Amino acid sequence: MWRSVASNFLTISIVLLAGVAGVIAWGKAQYAGPGPLAEAICLKVPAGSTFGKVADDLAGRGAISSAYVLKVGAEYEGKAQSLKAGSFLVQSGASMSDIVDAVTKGGQSTCGTEINYQIGVNGSNMVLRELDPATSEYVEVVKFDPAAGAAPQEFTDAVDDADVRFRVTLAEGVTSWQVVEALKRAEFMAGEAGDVPPEGMLSPDSYEVTKGAARGELLARMQARQEAILAELWPDRAEGLPYATPDEALTMASIVEKETGIASERPLVASVFINRLRDGMKLQTDPTVIYGITKGQGVLGRGLRRSELRGRTPYNTYVIDGLPPTPIANPGRESIAAALHPETSDFLYFVAKSLVPSDGHVFAQTLAEHNQNVEQLRALEAEQGGSGN
């Protein structure tokens, strides 16, 4: 009898253990396998939230098959106490393991609302935008110039949202003065901007910041990034360049930056100016003359006068020999690379192909060829002017 009881108990125990093992295997498969979410969503985790609340939210939105499995899985992985506040992009088919990893590893939010302060050559704009989870692209909500007046209410409300992210984006070709003046109008930042950094030494890029970030610290980050780019690219420069220091290369890069916005043209534009330096010719580039007039403090807003082209300033490359004394703007990485690795060409001249900047330039080896190209552009200007375009 006792042998029979023991045998039955053993059988039942094996069945129970097998059942438990099966449940564990099922749970692991549910936790690590693809989830049921059909379209990406933005998951907002408020400060002070718990994994239980997050799991219930996800289950209610059809992102997971079991809130209980997610909570147990997070506990098993030792991540239950590491929940981070923020907004997180949950892709379609994301596993529970993927979701737990996203909401516990820290760092910046990956979706939701973002304020992007775009500092450009011709002005700056504050852009409030939302990430569309379905397309992973930002949708503009409101855009305004902070120098033009009060901020729209949507923007004011967003700034006060603890979950909103902030970004400052510098366009290629902005001057250091423009950057400093623009940052003074960034009300979500704090502290003094300080002195204007050396021209050319702020790296055009996109910088994520936090609300209340110090203006001076952001400028230091921009300068450190530009210094790092120069330090990386300078040692591997092409041989025989007509400048001896990284500062001179940066000045050349700034001229290239202001002459063309087409990335593929930059090495060829650089070759023209390098050929001129090697041949002892003056650079004769309008952006340097403009910088000598404005000192980088704003946009000239009109064409150059003949008297200005003849006037002697340290930046008038129609008058001076060689490079101007400093950069004339903050060049991006591609323009710095172009100045250090120009194309090999015999070109000494270039002029715009048309009145559309994106059409680029036409290049010439001789002054006669160049004059023909200039005449063609003037004819096009006259034609379009006469047609009212």
pLDDT tens profile 1-26? 555 545 555 566 565 655 556 656 66
Bridge pairing between strands 123-132 and 137-144: antiparallel
Percent of the chain with pLDDT over 70: 90
The residues, any chain, with a CB within 8 Å of residue 90's CB and separated by 6 or more, are 37, 40, 41, 42, 43, 58, 63, 99, 102, 133
**What is the model's pLDDT at position 14?**
65
Angstrom CA distances, 134 to 78, 89, 156, 238, 385, stand at 31, 10, 26, 45, 45
Q: Report whether 127 contacts 152 (CB < 8 A).
A: no
Structure tokens at 63: 């992102």
The radius of gyration of the chain's CA atoms, rounded to the nearest angstrom, is 30
CA angle, 234 then 236 then 238, to 5°: 95
Give tens-digit pLDDT for 148-178: 888 888 888 777 776 788 899 999 999 999 9
What gap in Å lies between CA 331 and CA 176, rounded to an integer?
11
What gap in Å lies between CA 74 and CA 102, rounded to an integer?
12
Strand partners, 44: 87
Angstrom CA distances, 184 to 24, 177, 189, 198, stand at 58, 11, 8, 17
**What is the model's pLDDT at position 45?**
80
Instruction: Indicate whether 109 pLDDT > 70.
Output: no
Q: Report whether 85 contacts 74 (CB < 8 A).
A: no
Which of 120-124, 130-134, 237-241, 352-356 has the lowest average pLDDT? 130-134
Label residue 224 by pLDDT band (50, 70, 90).
very high
Structure tokens at 38: 């059909």
What gap in Å lies between CA 176 and CA 123, rounded to an integer?
13
List, in order of start, the domains of the chain with CATH numbers. 31-111 (3.30.1490.480), 113-231 (no CATH), 240-345 (no CATH)
Label residue 388 by pLDDT band (50, 70, 90).
very low
Three-state DSSP class for 361?
strand
**What is the model's pLDDT at position 387?**
45
* Mean pLDDT of the region 116-137: 87
pTM of the complete model: 0.77
Q: Please, what's the b/e burial string for 17-46 (b: 16 or more CB within 10 A of its CB; e: otherwise)?
A: eeeeeeeeeebeebbeeebebeebbbbbbe
- Residue closest to 205 by CA, chosen among 176, 169, 178: 169
Instruction: Indicate whether 206 pLDDT > 60.
Output: yes
What gap in Å lies between CA 255 and CA 331, rounded to an integer?
8
